[in-house]
Structure 1
Amino acid sequence: MTGVGSGFGRLLAEQLLARGDRVAGTVRRPDAVADLRAAHGDAFSVHRLDLTDTGRIRGVVVDAAAALGRLDVVVSNAGYGLFGAAEELNDAQVTHQLDTNLLGSIQLVRAALPHLRAAGGGRVLQLSSSAGQTAWPGSSLYNATKWGIEGFCEAVAAEVAPFGIGVTIVEPGAARTGFGATGLRVAEPLDAYDSSPAAYVHGFRDGGLPGVIGDPARMAAAMIASVDQSPAPLRLVLGSDSWAAVTASLEARLEQVRGQRATAGATDG
């Protein structure tokens, strides 16, 4: 499991260890989980990893599998949100967001699949967001990473089903995980966008995400429970806000294309 130092990763690790499971988790700072290591000993192995260092991912997965004896469930959790109008973001911010949320997650799943095949099956949980099915001004790069990883995982789910490997894309709404304090970055504003719909994200600098209703402990418990579902749910929507946003987005997209059936067919040869 990546990103066990805070947020959903930390909660998932706590709940799994409390019920007697063994967990291998990655962090950028091992001291962030020193208390869990002290409390659970060999049941919790800690591996240093920054997802942008993709060259280390396969080695860390090998080490985690060795520590546990085998891999049954792989949770791709680590990531953060980058907000601001597309023009407000600098090149380094764009690259880092893609490297962390998208490329790092892709490489983690790819590295884990041989171990799950060797074990005769298992489960991949990919943390996405309601932002993987919706798009808002001011979150174009975050949306790009979440829509991208959802497309990747949906295709991979079909590829690995014959091996008994299930893939679940988790789409939580806003949750009280501390994301606003530690997992959120906002671009420097451009005056030209003061009247743009994207300008609302500048308020995130002062207090994080407003109006958060999601209970992260309940969401973590739902993720864990989904592992026992058979077949694996391709998507797991968590939070009434996520459900409302995702269904509205899907219905709007269908409405936009349904009326184009005749014109689409007119281009057939």
Structure 2
Amino acid sequence: MATWFITGASAGIGRAVTEQLLRAGHRVAATAGDASRLKDLSGNLWTADLDVTDTEAVRDVVSRAFGELGRIDVVFSNAGRGAVGAAEELSDEAIAEQIAVNLTGPIQLVRAVLPHLRAQGGGRIIQTTTMGAQISSPGASLYHSSKWGIEGFLESLAPEVAPLGIGVTMVEPGSVRTGFGAALSIAEPMAAYAGTPAGQVHRYVAASGGNLTGSAPGDPVKVAAAVIASAAVDPAPRRLVLGSDAYQAVRAALDARLGELDPALAASTDFAA
């Protein structure tokens, strides 16, 4: 039996992972903004309300979970939210919230769990990012900024904590049928962007009725199973690209990025031998 600590456990991938773990007999410390949404679940379940943007609350809940449950094998950082709008359209408040939920919150969660993982001799940190941490699209600049940012943090973290027996994995799903979009932060459209790609994004979101993933190719049950299986892989896989759409988009983005490298130009700025 393993013990998992999960944020964003009440919906989407976090909910699917929680359900599968409980059915398999594992113990889950499940947290959500409103943990009452987990009351229908049964099994070896510990719950707590948690707003990941509240750093003191993160530290308190993490401390209570480790204190009451003892060893926690896997920390699954899954809470997140999307923001839509051209960079100029986004309010200061929307920018601050997006960074707090998707970047600062996960960073502070990692910082809160590390002392406990070190003390117990190791563990696993799994972070849900997105294929949007490798690609980008107009109208979602802050969302991509937050996801690229958390991956940069985790890339640096992984070799820091590997000698301590702590593995780090980034989960990069494509579009998954999770109801993503119902809680989007949507900026007020500006007329100047109506005929631009950012304006097209606004119209697409409005036409979706809040359900951006209703026909998405990704199966949340299969994504959850892949996340759970990754925890048993040693050494920890650095990334899980999940979904055929994610594979194609990420591969194309990486190929394009490599194609932008000019070795002659790069070498031309060195000091002469």
Q: What is the TM-score normalised by the length of structure 1?
A: 0.94
The residue type paired with residue 35 of structure 1 is D
Q: Which residue of 2 aligns with 1:195?
A: 195
3-state SS, counterpart of residue 126 of structure 1: strand
Shift of 1:122: 1.0
Contact 1:74 1:123 in 2 (8 A): yes
Distance 2:191 2:68 in 1: 52
| Superposition CA RMSD, Å | 1.1
1:238-249 map, 5 Å = 238-249=242-253
How far apart, in 1, do the equivalents of 2:101 and 2:182 lie? 18
Unpaired stretches in structure 1, ≥5 consecutive residues: none
Cα deviation per residue 1:167-190 (whole Å; 9 max; x = unaligned)? Answer: 0000000101111223x2321111
| 1:252 and 2:256 correspond | yes
Distance 1:187 1:12 in 2: 31
SS, match of residue 35 in structure 1: coil
Does residue 11 in structure 1 map to residue 16 in structure 2? yes
Q: Does 1:149 align with 2:142?
A: no
- 1:6-85 to 2 correspondences below 5 Å: 6-36=11-41, 39-40=42-43, 43-85=44-86
Aligned to 1:237: 241
Structure 2 match to 1:127: 128
Q: 1:79-118 residue pairs with structure 2 within 5 A?
A: 79-118=80-119
Deviations 1:14-39, CA, capped at 9 Å, x for gaps: 00011011011111112211111xx2
State how far apart, in whole Å, the 2-side matches of 1:67 and 1:196 are: 53
CA distance in 1, matches of 2:72, 2:270: 48
Deviates more, 1:67-76 or 1:132-141: 67-76
Q: CA deviation at 1:107?
A: 0.4
| 2:264 aligned partner | 262
- Higher helix residue share: 1
Q: TM-score, normalised by structure 2?
A: 0.93
Q: Which moved more, 1:197-206 or 1:223-232?
A: 197-206
1:79 Cα deviation after fit: 0.5
SS at match of 2:83: strand
1:88 match: secondary structure: coil
Using the TM superposition, name which of 207-216 and 59-68 deviates more.
207-216
List runs of 5+ in structure 2 lacking aligned partners.
1-5
